[in-house]
Amino acid sequence: MDSQWEQTLLVRLREFVGNDRYEKYIRRAGMGRLQWWQEREWARFVTEHPEFVVSSTHLLRLLQICPLHATALQSERITVRPAPADESYFEAAQQVDFPFAKSGWVSSYRIGWVDEEQDVLFCPDCRSIEAAWLEREGRSVMPADWLLERADLADMAQHIEHMLTLGLARGGRDKVNHNAYTWQEKREWFLSRQEPGAALWTFQSPQSSHYPLRGGTGLAWVRGQEVYHALYVVIEWAPVRNLAPAAPEQGAG
């Protein structure tokens, strides 16, 4: 929100309709529209406060903020896919802890009932919390701010050698996703996960992150804004450098 006037408008609207109804305004605006009763209530509000008359489009934009974080929602086109966690547990956390993540994760039983691609409004803070929740549950998902720089596939061998030097030679340990696999087999498995439009990135996770990615470094496949697969070692005993993170550019590929 850019102006004090717009902030004052929202404060006065909250006072006029009450906290509960105001949160309903926020949630409906996050869906891209208001309900009939909300439009009627807004008409009564501007009758009493004519200094706050704005168009319906302007009002929707002002109300498109996250009810948890007061963060302006951003627009993006997403592709839906099955949630990478226990469905009932994930849905409960989604509703309470990150309601506007809108990352595309849906329960498998809903896949056939929703559009494969959707235009959504999302909260960046909700997405960070969702990524941390998934990582805490042991899923191969990481926040985008762990990414360091885009890598060339031709330099894969050098990157892997660097990973092993940082991890194993410094007293860290190999993070084995598939216990029976050698590093060569794991490398081939990682390469097989390349998808159309995916880009290769290096990453490093902070020591403060939760198991299993604590203090890790490695390579990740990134599609758009999504980190969907990683190859890494864990450097539990090695100091983590203070490296400035880089976010993947939109539609990286």
Sequence ranges of the domains in the chain? 4-63, 74-136, 144-234
Band (pLDDT 50/70/90 cuts) for residue 15 is: very high
Over pLDDT 70: what percentage of the chain? Answer: 74
Identity (one letter) of the amino acid at 22? Y
Q: Is the pLDDT of residue 174 over 60?
A: no
Q: What is the pLDDT of residues 177-229, one digit of tens each?
A: 333 346 677 778 788 888 888 999 988 877 666 544 566 778 888 887 777 77
Q: Which is higher by pLDDT, 28 or 237? A: 28
Band (pLDDT 50/70/90 cuts) for residue 16 is: very high
Quote the pLDDT of residue 246. 47
Cβ pair 14, 66 in contact under 8 A = no
Band (pLDDT 50/70/90 cuts) for residue 139 is: low
Q: What is the mean pLDDT of residues 22-34?
A: 82
Identity (one letter) of the amino acid at 119? D
Q: What is the pLDDT of residues 98-137, one digit of tens each?
A: 989 998 888 766 777 888 888 888 999 999 898 888 877 7
Q: Is the pLDDT of residue 30 over 50?
A: yes
Band (pLDDT 50/70/90 cuts) for residue 156 is: confident
Q: Which is higher by pLDDT, 30 or 122? A: 122
Quote the pLDDT of residue 169. 46
SS3 sequence of the chain: CCCHHHHHHHHHHHHHHCHHHHHHHHHHHCCCCCCHHHHHHHHHHHHHCHHHCCCHHHHHHHHCECCCCCCECEEEEEECEECCCCHHHHHHHHHHHCCCCCCCEECHHHHHHCCCEEEEEECHHHHHHHHHHHHHCCCCCCCHHHEEEECCHHHHHHHHHHHHHHHCCCCCEECCCCCCCCHHHHHHHHHHCCCCCEEEEEEECCCCCCCCCCCEEEEEEEECCEEEEEEEEECCCCCCCCCCCCCCCCCCC
Q: What is the mean pLDDT of the chain?
A: 76
Q: What is the mean pLDDT of residues 28-49?
A: 88
Q: What is the pLDDT of residues 73-102, one digit of tens each?
A: 998 888 888 777 667 678 878 888 898 999
Q: What is the mean pLDDT of residues 34-57?
A: 90
Q: Is the pLDDT of residue 50 over 90?
A: yes
Count of residues making up the chain: 253
